[in-house]
Structures are given as C-alpha cells and as structure tokens.
Structure 1
Amino acid sequence: MLERELFHQYGIVVNHVYRVSGGYLLQTVELGECILKRAETEREEDFPWYVLVSQYYNQQNEPTLLPMPSKKGRYIETIGNEAATLYQLPLKTRTIRESDGHRLALLHRKGGNLLTSYSELPEVQPWQMRWQRRIDQLEAYRVTLMQQEQPLREFDTLFIETFPYYLGLSENAIQYLVDAGIDAGVNPFDVKTLVFRRYNAQYIADTEFLLPSEFILDHPARDLAEWIRYKLFDENAGFDEVRSFIWDYHQRRSMNAMDWNLLYARILFPIAYVEAIERYYSEENLKEKQEIYHRLLNYVNHEGDREALFKGIFSELIGERGSTMRQIEWLTI
C-alpha cells in the first residue's frame, strides 16, 4: 500500500492520495501537499543542486517543487517497485500573468543572478561539439545499415535516403556557430544561465510549479530557439506572434548579436530528425517504433515548409541585424 511505503521510507502520514499526471498528489500531516513523481533521468548526486535551485526560485517568487529526502537521506527511493522522488509543493502559486517573452527573460535573469554566486561552475560544452558527436554516430550507423546483408526495414530505408540532406543542414548549423565565435573572438558559451532541457510555448502556460530537474546550465538562446521552433514548426504560428515574443524578451533582457547567431544556428539544426532516429533505434516496443516511423515520415514530407521558415526567420525576424551576421547562401536566395 502506497501510504504504508511512504511512512516507512519518509516517516510521513498520508491522509489522501490522488492520481495526477506524472504521479500522485499527496496530502500529508507533516509536509502539507506533496507530489510523488517517477524518477526518470534524475541522478541522486544531482539533487543537492536541485534543492538549491528550488529554494532560490521559491525565494524569488517562482513557485518550485522542493525535493524531499527519505529517512535514509536519499532523494530517489523505490516506491511501488519504481524509482520515485517526493517533492513538497510550495505554499503559494504564481499569480502574475505575463507574456511568454517577459516570463522567460525574467527566469533567465534570476537564473543568471544565482550563478554569479558560484566561481567554479562546470563549463557549458559548445553546441557544435554535442551536435557533431550525435551526427557522427548517426552517420556511422547509416554505413553499418548500408553494409548489412539482411533486408532493410521501412525506417532503415527512410533514414538512409534522407540522412544526406539533414547531414548538410547540420553541417550548416555547426559551421555557423564556429564562424560566429571566430568573428566575435569570444566563447559565446561563457554566457550561461539556468535554462530548460527542452522549452516550448506551452511549458510555463501549463505548469503551475517549476520542476528543478528541468533546469540545466546553458546559453539563454537555447530557450529562445526552442520556443520559436515549437511555435513556427509545431503550431504553425505567424511571424507576428514570434516578433512579439522576441520584443517582450528583449525588453527584460537585451539580446546582442551573439544571441541572434546562436538562436539562428539552433533553429537550423534538425534536432527533431536526430532525436527521432536515436529514439527509433533505442526503442524496443514495436508499436512505438511504428509511431516514430510515421512521425518522421511526416516530418520529412514537410521539409519544404521548414526551408521557407528558415528563410523567413532571417528576413522577418533578424531583418537589419542580418547585415552584420553571416548568411547561409542557399537560405538567402
């Protein structure tokens, strides 16, 4: 029984249990309201940092779930035969409603202020290094598939036929970052704050409380690019909506030329394609593999629409700033 396990592991008395998306909402005597969530990508050694982030954001009026240790001092425990983490809900929720741009800029400023207190933070690995490693892995696996004797599956064929195009697109994005850093004479990733692992326009709107494990150290342009990618590619939003988002963000946190360079390169990199290939070949469930195949097929079939958006981003959003930025010839014709 869940209540018995929680008392045994955490020493708390649970009065009520409600199943919610991603876990259970608990009403407890000792801690008030809590959420029990399945631990997925979290690592035990990271939780002291998550606790610090949670405490800081709560002090900054950003309601954030607070990880709670078990009686053994661990943040990941086995509950109901699954690895899980207990989070205490903050006492208040955020009541101020702001635009996505204002909200994100404020989070970036607050996250940056927290980081200034630490003199020895880990370096942010440049995106181009991460991207190159993933692309090299896909290219090597494609060669393996082409050399195998057994018949290819539909997905294998799709991957083999489409990869050269997305390899070229990736190389454009990687070279764009390298050249931008050379032109500026600085490491753009010296600028960092707390950003989301994968931010989109729905995240803050649909999330009552922030989850500390969703934050990583990276350049602020990561979140900007993911918001724009989500809006333009997934929701088919217009450039007016994206312009308003950028303007609202810029009012709270000024964007410089390097921000624009990183933003454009990140939008250009075909992360959805790369992740689909990676997920398919690591997935064991046949139904899920088939769904990934159909999603990738749909993605590839809409590549022409995305090319038009790449061109539009440069002309509609970057505009006059483009005169001081490197241009990708085939996207400015």
Structure 2
Amino acid sequence: MKEFLKMNYGIQVKNKVRYRQLEGFQDDEHLYFIIPSLNKETIHMEQAALGYFLAENSYDQIAYPLTSLNGEWFQMIENTPYIVTKVETPLDSKPSSHGTYLANFHQLSTTYQYEPQEISSYGQWKDLWISKLTAFEQKTQEEAAEYRNDYYRLVMDSLPYLVGVSENAIQYLQETESERRYHLHDQGTIAFRRYQNNVEQPIIWFHDLVYDHPTRDLAEFIRYQLLSDSKNGLNNSKQFIQDYQSIRPLSVFSWRLLYARLIFPIHIFDCLEDTFIHRDFEKQYKQLQSILDQQHDYELNLSKFFEMMEVDYQSLRIPVLHWL
C-alpha cells in the first residue's frame, strides 16, 4: 500500500500505524487511511466539503478525502472502490467540557454557507421517518416470508410495537412543526449521523458528517447514554446539556424536536438495517432481543426527561406523552 500511495497520490509515507481497528500510514505530520467506500460520489463530495470547511477552521482531527494525481476520488482495489483520507497526527487530549465543545462545533458549523442536498435532513424528519417506517414494514414482512427463523419471528412479534411508537413520534413531530418559539440556534448545522462523542475523538471521519438541526446530535448522545447505562444515563446527560446551553441555549422548538427524536426508535431501525446488510441472524437476534428488553427502562427515563433536565414543560406548554 505504500507504493499505492506513492504511485496514485504522490505521497511518500514512512511507516504503518494502527488506529482502533484500522491500518494506516504515517509521514512526518499526517496519517493516511485507505478505506472502502460504497456511497455514491455526490454524497462523498458533499461530506468532503464539510470536512474541508472544518479542517480550514482549526478542526485538525478531521480525516478528509484526497483526490488522486488524476483527480479521482475512488481507486478500485479488487473490485471495491476505496478512498484515501488524510488527517493530522492525533493528539491524546480531550476538551474540558464535552457539552461546550459540541456547542462551539455547532456554532462554527452554522456559518457553513451551503446546505447540502444529498446529506441534509434539516426540516425533513417527518417525511424521512414516514418513509423509513413504510419501507421497513414492507421489507421486514417480505424478509420474514423468505427467512423463517427465530430472528424474523422476533421481528414480526415486535413490529406492532415498533409501528405504534414510530407513529406516536411522527404525530408529536407534526405538532411540533407548528411551534413558533424558536431562535437563531435552530439554524441548520454540520452534525453527525449517530453522535456519541465524536468531537472528543482523536479523529473525526468525514463520512460521519451530515447537515441537520443541532438537536440531532443532542438526542443521539442522550439515546446512547440511556441505552448504555439506564440507571445513570439521564444524570450523565444533564451536565452535558447544561454545558451545551451555556453556549447555545435551546428554544422550546428545540426541546420538542429533541424529545420527538428520542421517542422515535432509531436504535431499533438501525438494528434491523444491520440485518438487511450482514444477514447474521443469530447475532442480530441477540442484539434485537437485548434492545427490546431495554425499552421499558428507556421509556421510563423518557417519562422523566424534562424533570431531569430541569425544564418546566408545564409552564412552557411543552406536550409530553403520558403513555411513557
């Protein structure tokens, strides 16, 4: 691969490195990773533009794609398209406050002047959720007829629950769209597909970037906390949200969006989607069963969400779902 980088990109690297499970190469100041890519070029170009913008604005941990000496994004290796990413050699340092660091990331990202077309979900959640629910209902029923196994029996048994919760989230979101108590911090921003603590990581991968409302990242971080630690997840999220709000206060509209996204069972859809791709039914059965077993605690935490975040939802006239 050293010769591959030299011949196709004019890059001379010195040695191999490992980051997590990825093999990379290093020169004096940068790391290079050769990673497979199955997304279409327009998606990569939009994500690359976001990555370049962040790198130009002092986010040195952005791994962004390079074009070859021939100006090509992709290189075929054994019939698989690959891209080469470049990032400055990571430093082992974390920001003092995760919440304020993400808020500053969002604050800068709102100055990005061009809303992408392929990777933007800004203002589109309701339509995307309806499409997702419809597509998954059809796909799971077709697959269950083809693959008669324990995994798909579990899927079909849980499908009415999945549909019911999704429809509640969509209805709540539809009502939220008429909310007029919003402000400048509700502008679109650079965000992440499924945020956990990406901005704290030594490397931020350009292909994780999307364009959306900032509450996407807040909701996905809280979801991750609740699923990782049902007892302490809300407490762990509270300081994070307070620190975030010290830089970017949330409007009533934002609180309602955040709540709607937490209700929508994205984590269950992600599990189902993984099975469509990997077909490891035994592994996915265990994962889906574990997620479903957690739902009672997850919903219990959502029922306490506004109280734990110290949001006076009653005086602010923020609706809550009483079945939680």
What TM-score do you get using the length of structure 2 for normalisation?
0.86
Q: Which residue of 2 aligns with 1:330?
A: 323
Residues 44 and 74 in structure 1, CA contact (< 8 A), matched pair in contact too: no
Q: Using the alignment, how far apart are the partners of 1:172 and 1:143 within structure 2?
A: 21
3-state SS of paired residue (1:14):
coil
Is 1:17 the equivalent of 2:22? Answer: no
Per-residue deviation at 1:166? 1.6
Would the alpha carbon gap of residues 230 and 151 (structure 1) be closer, same or farther in structure 2, given more than 3 Å must change?
closer
Structure 1 residue ranges (4+ consecutive) displaced by more than 6 angstroms after TM superposition: none
The 5 A counterparts of 1:47-126 are 47-63=44-60, 64-79=62-77, 82-90=80-88, 93=91, 97-115=95-113, 118=114, 121-122=116-117, 124=122, 126=124
Q: Using the alignment, how far apart are the partners of 2:18 and 2:79 within structure 1?
A: 17
3-state SS of paired residue (2:59):
coil
Would the alpha carbon gap of residues 330 and 84 (structure 1) be closer, same or farther in structure 2, given more than 3 Å must change?
same
Per-residue deviation at 1:51? 4.3
User: Mean Cα displacement is larger for which, 169-178 or 135-144?
Assistant: 135-144
Q: Using the alignment, how far apart are the partners of 2:92 and 2:103 within structure 1?
A: 16
2:180 aligned to which of 179, 184, 190: 184
Is 1:300 the equivalent of 2:295? Answer: no
Residues 275 and 284 in structure 2, CA contact (< 8 A), matched pair in contact too: yes
Per-residue deviation at 1:212? 2.2
Residues 173 and 265 in structure 1, CA contact (< 8 A), matched pair in contact too: yes
1:229 aligned to which of 189, 209, 223: 223
Would the alpha carbon gap of residues 66 and 139 (structure 1) be closer, same or farther in structure 2, given more than 3 Å must change?
closer
2:242 aligned to which of 241, 244, 247: 247
Would the alpha carbon gap of residues 44 and 247 (structure 1) be closer, same or farther in structure 2, given more than 3 Å must change?
same
Residues 103 and 244 in structure 2, CA contact (< 8 A), matched pair in contact too: yes
Residues 306 and 313 in structure 2, CA contact (< 8 A), matched pair in contact too: no
Would the alpha carbon gap of residues 27 and 92 (structure 1) be closer, same or farther in structure 2, given more than 3 Å must change?
closer
What TM-score do you get using the length of structure 1 for normalisation?
0.84
Q: Using the alignment, how far apart are the partners of 2:164 and 2:206 within structure 1?
A: 36
Would the alpha carbon gap of residues 253 and 3 (structure 1) be closer, same or farther in structure 2, given more than 3 Å must change?
same
Per-residue deviation at 1:179? 0.3
1:35 aligned to which of 27, 32, 38: 32
Q: Using the alignment, how far apart are the partners of 2:43 and 2:71 within structure 1?
A: 13
Q: Using the alignment, how far apart are the partners of 2:143 and 2:80 within structure 1?
A: 36
Q: Which residue of 1 aligns with 2:159?
A: 163
Per-residue deviation at 1:184? 2.9
3-state SS of paired residue (1:329):
coil
Mark the runs of 5 or more structure 2 residues left unpaired by the alignment: none
Q: Using the alignment, how far apart are the partners of 1:247 and 1:238 within structure 2?
A: 15
Residues 189 and 218 in structure 1, CA contact (< 8 A), matched pair in contact too: no
Residues 126 and 174 in structure 2, CA contact (< 8 A), matched pair in contact too: yes
CA RMSD of aligned residues (A): 2.9
Would the alpha carbon gap of residues 213 and 277 (structure 1) be closer, same or farther in structure 2, given more than 3 Å must change?
closer
Report Cα offsets for 1:262-317 as digits up to 9, x if no partner: 10011111111122223223434xxx321111110111122221221111113322
Identity %: 24
Would the alpha carbon gap of residues 96 and 231 (structure 1) be closer, same or farther in structure 2, given more than 3 Å must change?
closer
Q: Using the alignment, how far apart are the partners of 1:108 and 1:48 within structure 2?
A: 21
Q: Using the alignment, how far apart are the partners of 1:151 and 1:114 within structure 2?
A: 46
